[in-house]
Every structure is written in structure tokens, then in C-alpha cells.
Amino acid sequence: MDKLRHMGIISSGFLGRRRTDDPRLPPGQYLTEGFPVLSAGPTPRIAKDDWAFTITTEKGDVHRWSWDEFMALPQEDVSTDIHCVTSWSKLGTSWRGVALDTLFKDVDTSFEYTMAHSYGGYTTNVPLADLLNGKAWVAHSFDGKDLEPEHGGPARLLVPHLYFWKSAKWVNGLQMLPQDQPGFWEQNGYNMYGDPWKEQRYW
């Protein structure tokens, strides 16, 4: 229905080649077999020995995991579709990591929003409800291998039901927030929430 409503201008010479009516593909997305890279600056190189992940609450409590502590937590294998705001989607990607449910198990907070922080200074905002109940992970492996630095290794956030810029590369922490605040791309033209099924791409 959406397609008919937004029929647009016909380009009679344009045929298009990749006709995928795959129901797993959100509106305006096309399939890619590759794994394109999107980032705003140089790739930070973080040794696992120097890596840590923290969750910081309104009371100032800091829950901290070193790499070894993080890897000792229950691990989950995740197969999921991912959708980049630049219009590519990749189906059935394989990840391994720790569910945010596991990381939040002992976190006492009444705040409903988070800001994800990364090595290199990147930030992105995600409501807490979008991180819990099996919706999000801190992933350290892709396709059975350590996550490459250019794809966010040693570990990145994985929030596959939102556009992929929300899945912060090189993630190192979550700060609990009382209200939603824009992160890096959200201050630079991109949507606060980023639901691919509603095409929430830009401001």
C-alpha cells in the first residue's frame, strides 16, 4: 500500500535489477551481500586488555566489566537482519555477544533513556526499552570471527530493530538518562529513534 501511495515519478528507462519483494526488507531498503562501513572518523584501535564496558546510573553507580569479565558472562548467538540508513540491508547476519538483559541484571535505575558511548567519542541515544527483552546485545563476533576494528571491534552494540547507526561501534558504555537526548548522528541530521519499518531516517 505504501508503495502505491508514494508512486512518485516514473523513469521509463529505469528498470531496476534487484527486484526483491522479500518481506524482511523494510521500505526503501535494498539487499547487499557485502558489509559496507559507515563511520565518522578514524577507526580506533583498542586492545582487549584496555577494553572495558560500563553502565552508569543516576545514582552514580558504575557497573564495569573488563574484557575477561565480559567474556565470562552468558553468551548468545544471534542471527538477525540489519538495516543501514543509507538504504542497504543485510539478511541473516550472525553475531555472538552478551544480551543487554544480562548486563542490566543488577542495574538499579528508574531512568528510561540511555546514551551509548564509544571509544573515539561517538555517541548514540537509545531508549532503555529498546535494549531489553532480547532486543539488543554487546557483540564481539561476526560470522564466527572476532569483530574487525572497522566494523566496531573489539565490541559493538547490536540493536538490529533500529537503523544500524544505533548499533554503536567500539562501544564502551551506557549512561542512563532521565530524558531522550540526541547523540552524534542525531545532532547531525538523523532521526532520534530510527525505526527502519517507519523509515525514520532523518530529521
Partner 1 sequence: MSNVWRAADVVDTRMETPTARTIRLRIPGLHGHLAGQHVDIRLTAPDGYQAVRSYSIASGGGRGALEPHELPDDELELTVEELADGEVSPYLVRGLQNGDQLEVRGPVGGWFVWRPGDTTPVQLIAGGSGVVPLMSMARAHAAAASTAPFRMLYSVRAPFSRYYTDELATLATDAAPLEVDYIYTRQAPPDSDAKPGRLTAEGLMQRVLPASDSPTFFICGSTPFVEAVSGWLVDAGHDPARVRTERYGGVGGTP
Say how many CA atoms lie within 13 Å of 190 toward its Cβ. 21
Instruction: Considering the complex, state which of residue 100 and residue 157 has its C-beta at the smaller distance from partner 1.
Output: 157
Residues that bind partner 1 (CB under 8 A): 3-4, 6-19, 28, 30, 32, 34, 36-44, 85-88, 120-121, 150, 184-185, 187-189, 199, 201-203
- Own/partner pairs, 19-23, CB within 8 angstroms, 24+ separation: 22/91
With b for 16 or more beta-carbon neighbours within 10 A and e for fewer, the 154-166 pattern comes to: bbbbbbbbbbbbb
User: 141: how many CB neighbours lie within 10 A of its CB?
Assistant: 17
For strands 52-56 and 88-99, give the pairing.
unpaired
- Rounded CA-CA distance 20/13 in Å is 19
Min separation Cβ 111 and partner 1, Å: 27
CB 159, CB 95: distance < 8 Å: no
Instruction: Considering the complex, state which of residue 105 and residue 145 has its C-beta at the smaller distance from partner 1.
Output: 145
Instruction: Considering the complex, state which of residue 7 and residue 49 has its C-beta at the smaller distance from partner 1.
Output: 7
Instruction: Considering the complex, state which of residue 109 and residue 191 has its C-beta at the smaller distance from partner 1.
Output: 191
Instruction: Considering the complex, state which of residue 14 and residue 23 has its C-beta at the smaller distance from partner 1.
Output: 14
Min separation Cβ 123 and partner 1, Å: 12
Min separation Cβ 127 and partner 1, Å: 20
User: 29: how many CB neighbours lie within 10 A of its CB?
Assistant: 23
Which of 51, 68, 74 minimizes the C-alpha distance to 156? Answer: 51
Min separation Cβ 27 and partner 1, Å: 9
Min separation Cβ 169 and partner 1, Å: 12
